[in-house]
Structure 1
């Protein structure tokens, strides 16, 4: 059987285009919602600190980090890193992002299984990511003489694809925790809650598209491998 990689190649291109469009849409949403003041008047930093306190988390610091959409939770040094705008801003967008990142801190504090699984994968992926692209490149260049490099590259790339899909429940769960808390605590009005939910939905879609794109790329390399093997 001959494996045609062309359809999968176009799927990879389509995923890249969709990813760009979603990133653009996310930035647009964040800009729009960032201009609407929060009725409670709380900044992203204050919201983050309040959510951590409400969950009894006292060993996590909320700090400001440079850049735009660079917000993240670091389980290694237990810090909620908020971009400069989110850290100071008092808007529905800032509330959504700050609470979402604290959602990860809550996951960490409660030993959420999928976060633990993802964290366990990080050391291996960190070492693999440095040389995996070169192995895949060597595999494609040497495909007519040996399939071993490409096979090794596919095995390594499958780890990154798995990581992308493991990330999905972690992100969706953090958003669920965030929205439930800001609503329960009265941080947002009904209208602001809708905006926060919409912002987090678009943020989640970036992870969904990244996972699909990674899977499409993996299938493309697999199709190259299978096609070359069948021609031998």
Structure 2
């Protein structure tokens, strides 16, 4: 079945890869630009994270440093806010923006923000669907017997990945809005620095948009390929 993998629909994958590559390049270049700007208050990103958590009366969340480059994350199960080596000890506007964003997720968790809870609930199904989607599609295509049941099921499982990306968008946008609001409220950054931090967080948000678009294009390709097979 070479046609299933080498035909004109492959352009959709290429487009997705290019969009994702552009988004990744944009966030890296934007982060590097404002990584050179030291915040005027002299705060470290990890200090700002602890300050935000304290002001939000979040006492059950720890702040730790992890390896990697921009691997920052908040884990609602372990109640741990992890800052990458590049961010944790940095005094830059970029680092503070990223740290505040992760604190935004911790605040969402405390307040029971519905999209965050939905995203967490989707994780097991998405992981399972990602593992079995392509095998189901291949088996359904190879042993096609007049019913698209397996192929449809495989596409549905793959669609969970796209659903997860869509649910992720409001979670990330909301966390960034919370981050900028709290940075302004506690005056960790001044007005000029807030503009810089907003640019960093906007660039970061575009990576999630790119991921959703790439996932949609992959899903569309599978639908087109299945339709071609029925024909």
When the two structures are superposed, what TM-score results if normalisation uses the length of structure 1? 0.91
Question: What does residue 35 of structure 1 align with?
Answer: 36
Question: What does residue 126 of structure 1 align with?
Answer: 127
CA distance in 2, matches of 1:100, 1:63: 15
Name the SS for the 1:219 alignment partner: helix
Shift of 1:141: 4.7
CA distance in 2, matches of 1:177, 1:7: 43
How do 1:186-201 and structure 2 match up within 5 A? 186-201=187-202
Name the SS for the 1:37 alignment partner: coil
Whether the 8 Å CA contact 1:144–1:228 is kept in 2: the answer is no
Shift of 1:12: 3.0
Question: What does residue 157 of structure 1 align with?
Answer: 158
Question: What does residue 61 of structure 2 align with?
Answer: 60
Whether the 8 Å CA contact 1:8–1:216 is kept in 2: the answer is no
Shift of 1:73: 0.5
Shift of 1:10: 2.2
Aligned length: 226
Residues 145, 200 of structure 1: alpha-carbon distance in 2 compared, 3 angstrom cutoff: same
- What is the root-mean-square deviation in Å for CA atoms of aligned residues? 1.9
Shift of 1:212: 1.0
1:87 matches 2:88: yes
Instruction: Return 5+ residue gaps in structure 2 as ranges.
Output: 1-5
Residues 91, 148 of structure 1: alpha-carbon distance in 2 compared, 3 angstrom cutoff: same
Instruction: Return 5+ residue gaps in structure 1 as ranges.
Output: none
Shift of 1:67: 0.3
Question: What does residue 167 of structure 1 align with?
Answer: 168
Name the SS for the 1:62 alignment partner: strand
How do 1:1-232 and structure 2 match up within 5 A? 9-139=10-140, 141-142=142-143, 147-229=148-230, 231=231
Runs of 4 or more off by more than 2 Å in structure 1?
5-12, 126-150
Name the SS for the 2:157 alignment partner: helix
Whether the 8 Å CA contact 2:132–2:154 is kept in 1: the answer is no
Partner deviation per Cα, 1:9-65 (whole Å, 9 max, x = no partner): 423311210210110121111122112111111111101101111111000001111
